């Protein structure tokens, strides 16, 4: 980079800063900036286009084009050269603009006399905010130095736009993040909620994009890189987990990358502060991330993104804790979140919106357990939402209304009122059984895992707890709970149940349920790996401790427990033997042993459906874990939205398999229930009942809607609809069932 240009660019940024320091209104600032840029680049035209809404760019200021066109000329994303720069987030530099691909003639601007065109995206963290354009009459391509200088200026403009420096009259001049925005995602937990945004990872704000002293800024950059390097090396020394090591190695590679460092140093030489230089590189990486199809490369770019965030936090001193106060009605926004982190927030949250995430994840299960509406796969939400923004979450349609206007607020509140009405209706059948029109009774139980769930046992009308996920108690802690703690907790659960049956599932960890205090294992495919009963049998200490805690907690009362993820009869036998050992030990120690201990297994792998008859005769009861069973039946990861969505739970093959299990259990008299998430979806629950399941366990909030539908339905008719669809060779029975339901009115 020529020294002359560096100085020019720095001078320009210095002048820009003076404009920013003045107290001109937004429009005057923009006008001055276009003037300054045209003057320094020595070109006739400089224009700034900003997004009026998600899809429309508006000419907001110009030096050299017709002044009347300001706030009049607009173009869609992708339209004309300006729209193309914004869409592709690429520079366009051409000596012959009227003949360039995509050129659109806009007579009102008077730009026809200008041949050369250089357009640079104004973007922040991969989000397009506008376009900065210079044009000249002389047919010439702008030099790479000019392009570079303009990119640096565009970076500063992006920061200023973000900080609201151009706020003024006109929609395009309103503060960013101040207009209503509607985002779409996928429903992972139904329900509607109104509240205010709480960002799980608050955005870093760069308030000083321009710096005077490049030497000091270079030092700051070096120091930050060094701090990251040392941190990464330390973590690498401690980490045993291959995947984590891979990410750390990638960090180290970037931290040592000469190209990355050089580009940031250049940006600083051109007048940017260290943090603005980091953010400039981060923006470029994010824009690339969107266009790269290769998974490996995407992951590396995402590592670079994380690394940049670390650097920004070091340079700005802004940690995860910004000191902001959590609103009283928080709606959590995050790229993704694990079950343990979510449990830490607990019931305080009114809703959750994730940019990534998946319906089948354990975070989703936790959200369901907590009855918090959850929307996953909501593109752009972490960019669009600011802490404290008013938001309405429509967990029926999968829509997020960010900063809603009055009409949306009114319509939404009507919807919430209707939901309250429905809840009243459900409350009226709370004490009635799920007695179908054809005279069958389906037992409805609830899933739980936290103490806070237990009041729902009364209010939901559940007959008992069909699945108590004991691992949630392990996930919320920073260290392994002690036996006495667990025993006290289980006692409270049984006390609260007041004699209703509670099925404790023994510790189900592994896969995505990672205990923070247990040494992580390095597995190529954790969902198929060392998890649940496999861990319990290989590491009997923890299982013994938990079994003893359960026996003690019962204090002589009946106890029901089941083992998760049993794939073959032998595993059940071994687990049962472990229980006998615990009983023998407790007897020796003089503790009261429950005189009735029911022991079951979860059927979560197809293999167990084909277990020998002796297993079905031996096991006390079976509970189908439909979430896992479905993922293994279809070989489709429950956490991977892309593949998960392909397979409907009402798929004929899956229902046929479930029916076979029902028949085998009927044959041996083995009590059977279903406790996967599908049990809580009314239409799915109806089909499960129609194929013969008489016990379903679900989140408490589903009991009302499921019971209400069952009480209105004739299972024999539903069964016939299923059989007919199967007979016709349909893939899923859903269309036929939905049609039948619509006909029932
Ligand atoms: C299941 O797999 O259906 C189940 C109930 O267990 P979890 O969702 O906790 O894995
Ligand atoms: Mg499971």
Q: Which atom number of ligand 1 is nearest to the Cα of residue 564?
A: 6
Name the residue among 93, 160, 150 with its Cα closest to residue 124.
160
Pinpoint the alpha helices (H) of 186-273: 214-238, 242-255, 258-269
Judged by its nearest atom, the ligand closest to the C-alpha of residue 365 is 1
Beta carbon of 626 within 6 Å of any ligand 1 atom: yes
User: What confidence tens digit (pLDDT) does each residue in 381-398 have?
Assistant: 988 898 899 999 998 889
**Cα 523 to ligand 1 centre (Å):** 20
Rounded to an integer, what distance in angstroms lies between the CA atom of residue 226 and that of residue 647? 48
Instruction: Give the pLDDT confidence score for residue 1 in this predicted structure.
Output: 43
Name the residue among 82, 107, 78 with its Cα closest to residue 97.
82
Q: Two tokens at 357? A: 């995430």
Beta carbon of 510 within 6 Å of any ligand 1 atom: no
Beta carbon of 531 within 6 Å of any ligand 1 atom: no
Beta carbon of 639 within 6 Å of any ligand 1 atom: no
Beta carbon of 678 within 6 Å of any ligand 1 atom: no
Q: Quick check: 274 and 9 in contact, CB under 8 A?
A: no
Residue nearest to atom 8 of ligand 1 (CA): 627
Burial of 145 (0-12, 13-18, 19+ CB in 10 A): middle
Q: Two tokens at 552? A: 């003690």
Q: Quick check: 306 and 343 in contact, CB under 8 A?
A: no
Instruction: Rounding to the nearest 10 degrees, give the CA dihedral for residues 697, 703, 709, 714.
Output: 40
**Cα 517 to ligand 1 centre (Å):** 22
Probe ligand 1: pick from 343, 446, 468, 469, max atoms within 8 Å of CB?
Answer: 469
Instruction: Give the pLDDT confidence score for residue 2 in this predicted structure.
Output: 46
Q: Which atom number of ligand 1 is nearest to the Cα of residue 511?
A: 10
Rounded to an integer, what distance in angstroms lies between the CA atom of residue 320 and that of residue 314? 11
Q: Quick check: 711 and 432 in contact, CB under 8 A?
A: yes
Q: Quick check: 740 and 721 in contact, CB under 8 A?
A: yes
Beta carbon of 625 within 6 Å of any ligand 1 atom: yes
**Cα 676 to ligand 1 centre (Å):** 6
Beta carbon of 627 within 6 Å of any ligand 1 atom: yes
Judged by its nearest atom, the ligand closest to the C-alpha of residue 626 is 1
- Biggest CA-to-CA distance, the chain: 98
**Cα 628 to ligand 1 centre (Å):** 6
**Which distant-in-sequence residues (6+ apart) come within 8 Å of 54 by Cβ?**
77, 181
3-state secondary structure 442-465: EEEEEEECCHHHCHHHHHCCCCEE
- Residue 223 φ/ψ, nearest 5 degrees: -65, -40
Probe ligand 1: pick from 528, 675, 685, 702, max atoms within 8 Å of CB?
Answer: 675
Q: Which atom number of ligand 1 is nearest to the Cα of residue 627?
A: 3
**Cα 602 to ligand 2 centre (Å):** 8
Q: Two tokens at 425? A: 């209706």
Instruction: Give the pLDDT confidence score for residue 86 in this predicted structure.
Output: 92
User: What confidence tens digit (pLDDT) does each residue in 293-348 have?
Assistant: 666 676 677 777 778 888 888 898 876 666 678 899 999 999 888 777 788 888 88
Q: Which atom number of ligand 1 is nearest to the Cα of residue 623?
A: 5
Angle between helices 26-41 and 3-21 (to 10 degrees): 160
Name the residue among 157, 152, 88, 163 with its Cα closest to residue 126.
88
45-53 vs 127-136, strand pairing mode: antiparallel
Rounded to an integer, what distance in angstroms lies between the CA atom of residue 478 and that of residue 169? 52
Probe ligand 1: pick from 510, 527, 627, max atoms within 8 Å of CB?
Answer: 627
User: What confidence tens digit (pLDDT) does each residue in 354-363 have?
Assistant: 998 887 777 7
Residue nearest to atom 1 of ligand 1 (CA): 625
Beta carbon of 628 within 6 Å of any ligand 1 atom: yes
* Regions of the chain with pLDDT less than 70: 1-7, 170-176, 239-244, 247, 290, 293-296, 298-299, 319-323
Judged by its nearest atom, the ligand closest to the C-alpha of residue 625 is 1
pTM of the model: 0.66
Q: Is 11 left (phi over 0), alpha (psi -120 to 50) or beta?
A: alpha
**Cα 669 to ligand 1 centre (Å):** 24
**Cα 568 to ligand 2 centre (Å):** 15
User: What confidence tens digit (pLDDT) does each residue in 36-74 have?
Assistant: 999 988 899 999 999 887 788 999 999 999 999 999 999
Probe ligand 1: pick from 365, 622, 695, max atoms within 8 Å of CB?
Answer: 365
Residue nearest to atom 10 of ligand 1 (CA): 628
Rounded to an integer, what distance in angstroms lies between the CA atom of residue 304 and that of residue 544? 44
């Amino acid at each position: 980079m020529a020294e002359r240009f560096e100085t020019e660019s720095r001078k320009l940024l210095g002048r820009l800063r003076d404009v920013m320091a003045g107290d001109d209104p937004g429009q005057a600032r923009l006008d001055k900036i276009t003037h300054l840029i045209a003057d320094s680049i020595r070109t006739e035209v400089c224009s700034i286009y900003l997004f009026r809404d998600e899809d429309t760019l508006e000419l907001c200021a110009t030096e050299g084009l017709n002044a009347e066109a300001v706030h009049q000329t607009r173009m869609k994303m992708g339209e004309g050269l300006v729209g193309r720069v914004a869409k592709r987030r690429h520079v366009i530099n051409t000596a012959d603009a009227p003949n360039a691909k995509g050129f659109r003639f806009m007579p009102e601007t008077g730009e026809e006399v200008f041949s050369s065109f250089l357009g640079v995206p104004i973007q922040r963290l991969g989000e397009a905010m506008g376009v900065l354009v210079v044009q000249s009459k002389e047919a010439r391509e702008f030099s790479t130095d000019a392009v570079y200088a303009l990119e640096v200026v565009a970076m500063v403009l992006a920061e200023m736009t973000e900080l609201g420096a151009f706020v003024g009259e006109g929609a395009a001049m309103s503060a960013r993040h101040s207009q209503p925005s509607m985002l779409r995602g996928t429903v992972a937990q139904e329900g509607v909620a109104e509240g205010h945004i709480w960002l799980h990872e608050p955005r870093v704000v760069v308030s000083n994009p321009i710096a005077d002293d490049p030497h000091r800024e270079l030092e700051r950059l070096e120091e930050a890189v060094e701090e990251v390097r040392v941190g990464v090396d330390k973590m690498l020394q401690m980490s045993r987990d291959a995947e984590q090591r891979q990410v750390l190695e990638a960090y180290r590679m970037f931290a040592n990358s000469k190209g990355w460092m050089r580009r940031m140093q250049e940006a600083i030489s051109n007048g940017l502060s260290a943090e603005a230089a980091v953010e400039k590189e981060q923006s470029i990486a994010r824009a690339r991330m969107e266009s790269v199809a290769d998974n490996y490369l995407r992951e590396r770019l995402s590592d670079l993104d994380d690394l940049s965030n670390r650097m920004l936090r070091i340079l700005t001193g802004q940690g995860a804790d910004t000191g902001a106060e959590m609103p009283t009605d928080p709606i959590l926004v995050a790229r993704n979140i694990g079950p343990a982190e979510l449990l830490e927030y607990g019931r305080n949250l009114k809703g959750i919106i994730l940019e990534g995430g998946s319906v089948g994840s354990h975070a989703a299960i936790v959200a369901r357990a907590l009855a918090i509406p959850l929307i996953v796969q909501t593109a752009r939400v972490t960019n669009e939402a600011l802490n404290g923004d008013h938001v309405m979450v429509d967990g029926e349609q999968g829509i997020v209304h960010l900063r809603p206007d009055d009409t949306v607020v009114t319509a939404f509140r009507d919807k919430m009122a209707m939901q309250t009405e429905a809840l009243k209706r459900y409350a009226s059948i709370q004490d009635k059984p799920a007695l179908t029109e054809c005279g069958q009774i389906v037992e409805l139980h609830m899933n739980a895992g936290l103490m806070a769930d237990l009041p729902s046992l009364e209010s939901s009308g559940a007959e008992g707890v069909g699945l108590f996920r004991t691992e949630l108690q392990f996930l919320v802690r920073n260290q392994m709970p002690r036996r006495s703690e667990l025993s006290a907790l289980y006692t409270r659960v049984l006390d609260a149940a007041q004699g209703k049956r509670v099925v404790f599932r023994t510790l189900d960890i592994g896969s995505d349920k990672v205990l923070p205090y247990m040494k992580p294992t390095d597995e190529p495919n954790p969902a198929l790996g060392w998890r649940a009963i496999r861990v319990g049998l290989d590491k009997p200490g923890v299982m013994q401790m938990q079994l003893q805690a359960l026996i003690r907690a019962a204090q002589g009362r009946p106890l029901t427990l089941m083992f998760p993820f049993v794939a073959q009869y032998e595993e059940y036998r071994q687990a049962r033997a472990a229980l006998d050992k615990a009983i023998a030990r407790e007897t020796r120690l003089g503790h009261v042993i429950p005189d009735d201990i029911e022991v079951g297994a979860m059927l979560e792998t197809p293999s167990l459906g084909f277990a020998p008859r002796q297993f079905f005769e031996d096991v006390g009861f079976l509970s189908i874990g439909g979430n896992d069973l479905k993922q293994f039946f279809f070989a489709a990861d429950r956490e991977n939205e892309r593949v998960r969505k392909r397979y409907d739970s009402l798929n004929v093959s899956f229902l046929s398999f479930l029916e076979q299990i029902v028949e085998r259990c009927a044959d041996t008299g083995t009590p059977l229930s279903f406790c996967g998430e599908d049990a809580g979806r009314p239409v799915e629950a109806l089909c499960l009942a129609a194929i013969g399941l008489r016990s379903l366990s679900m989140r408490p909030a589903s009991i009302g809607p499921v019971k209400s539908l069952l009480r209105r339905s004739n299972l024999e008719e539903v069964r016939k609809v299923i059989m007919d669809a199967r007979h016709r060779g349909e893939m899923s029975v859903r269309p036929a069932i939905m049609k039948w339901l619509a006909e029932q009115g």
